[in-house]
Amino acid sequence: MTDEHEERPNPPRRGLRKGLYLIPSAFTAANIGMGFFSVMESLRGFQLLDNANPDIVTAAIHFDKAAIAIGVALLFDMLDGRIARLTKTTTEIGIQLDSIADVVTFGLAPAVLAYVWGYGITANEGSDLHRFAWFLSFMYLICGAFRLARFNVQASRPRLIAEGTVKVDKKSFVGLPIPVAGGMIAALVHFSPLPLIYFGPERARIYSGLLMILVAFLSLMMVSTLRFSSFKTVGTRSKSMRTIILALCVGMLIILYSQYVLLAIVVSYILLGLLSRVASIFWRRGEAPQIITDQRGSKT
């Protein structure tokens, strides 16, 4: 006589399901690894410059590796969230781990890279400019950390935010995302990996001043209330095939002309957010007279 329990199909293996939760975390861990690698390469390049006979060419190679590591980490950062949503393996610990990874890779690593490649090495040790260079890198890091903390609060409690805080939607970010800010610094270094002291004292001071302005600008943009597109809905509609083809074309351009394409993408993204804010201001001003006219017409 056959046992009824033997005829039942085997239940699905729960171990396989649990293994899916490790995939997004693996990408996040790779993100942290790239951030650590970037910091170490930046410090190695700085060591080659901080002596009587600086090896500028070799230092530039290390700075370029540090910038590329941040770019690779940006790819990991995009994949871990999408994979988590696709496999429905989003967890609270994964969200917090992702934020910690972003602080290291897109906060600390770009701050160190901007200092050792740019304004830190051009300023005299102990001078006011040198202390201000320290402050700028710290300001960038703390603004990035605040940006991530605000995002986590808004994402977890979108309807219970304090009065005056901009409400979050899935189509846009409030404030410049820290991966884009870090990617901007990395793309700039990748575009010209030679440290600024290579261009001579006078031009180095000018370029250092411009870099300081850029770092301060990125810091303020991260803690601003400007909206930047999240592109989370890209590829979810019926035209996903066109999106895949476009992504492949952009990927090939990055492989062939990475120095130019990466910088152009980051700059275009930032300008798109700024121009969208300007357009919304003029749009509201144009709507105001029409609203007043409608209100007056309704009273008569």
Q: Which of 271, 61, 280, 253 is nearest to 180 (CA)?
A: 271
pLDDT of 90-101, one tens digit each?
A: 677 777 888 899
Supply the pLDDT for residue 247: 80
| Model pTM score | 0.81
- The Cα 144–Cα 282 span in angstroms is 30
- The Cα 115–Cα 162 span in angstroms is 36
Write the CATH number for 210.
1.20.120
Query: Is residue 266 assigned to a domain?
Result: no
Torsion on CA atoms 230, 231, 232, 237, rounded to nearest 10: 150
Query: Is residue 176 assigned to a domain?
Result: yes
Average pLDDT score over residue span 78-91? 73
- The Cα 84–Cα 48 span in angstroms is 41
Asked if the model's pLDDT at residue 13 lies above 60, the reply is: no
Query: Is residue 183 assigned to a domain?
Result: yes
pLDDT of 113-131, one tens digit each?
A: 999 999 988 877 778 888 9
How many structural domains is the chain composed of?
1
Question: Which structure tokens are listed for 234?
Answer: 């890209």
Supply the pLDDT for residue 294: 54
- pLDDT band of residue 11 (cuts 50, 70, 90) is very low
- The Cα 16–Cα 139 span in angstroms is 44
Supply the pLDDT for residue 25: 81
Of residues 267 and 295, the one with the higher pLDDT is 267
Q: Which of 193, 24, 41 is nearest to 112 (CA)?
A: 41
CA distances from 240 to 84, 161, 231, 233 (A): 19, 34, 13, 10
What residue numbers bound the domain in which 36 lies? 18-158+165-235
- The Cα 139–Cα 94 span in angstroms is 26
Asked if the model's pLDDT at residue 190 lies above 80, the reply is: yes
Asked if the model's pLDDT at residue 154 lies above 70, the reply is: yes
Q: Which of 111, 126, 124, 94 is nearest to 38 (CA)?
A: 111
Kindly report which listed range (56-60, 111-115, 211-215, 231-235) carries the lowest average pLDDT score: 231-235
Question: Which structure tokens are listed for 112?
Answer: 């160190």
Query: Is residue 292 assigned to a domain?
Result: no
What is the amino acid identity at position 1? M
Query: Is residue 256 assigned to a domain?
Result: no
Q: What is the CA angle 181-185-188, rounded to 5?
A: 135
Query: Is residue 279 assigned to a domain?
Result: no
User: Cβ distance 215 to 136 under 8 Å?
Assistant: yes
Residue found by looking up tokens 């300008």 in the block:
271
What are φ and ψ of residue 28, in 5° steps? -65, -40
Asked if the model's pLDDT at residue 112 lies above 90, the reply is: yes
Asked if the model's pLDDT at residue 53 lies above 80, the reply is: yes
Query: Is residue 287 assigned to a domain?
Result: no
Query: Is residue 174 assigned to a domain?
Result: yes
What stretch of H or E contains 17?
Answer: helix 14-20
Beta-bridge mates of residue 174: 227
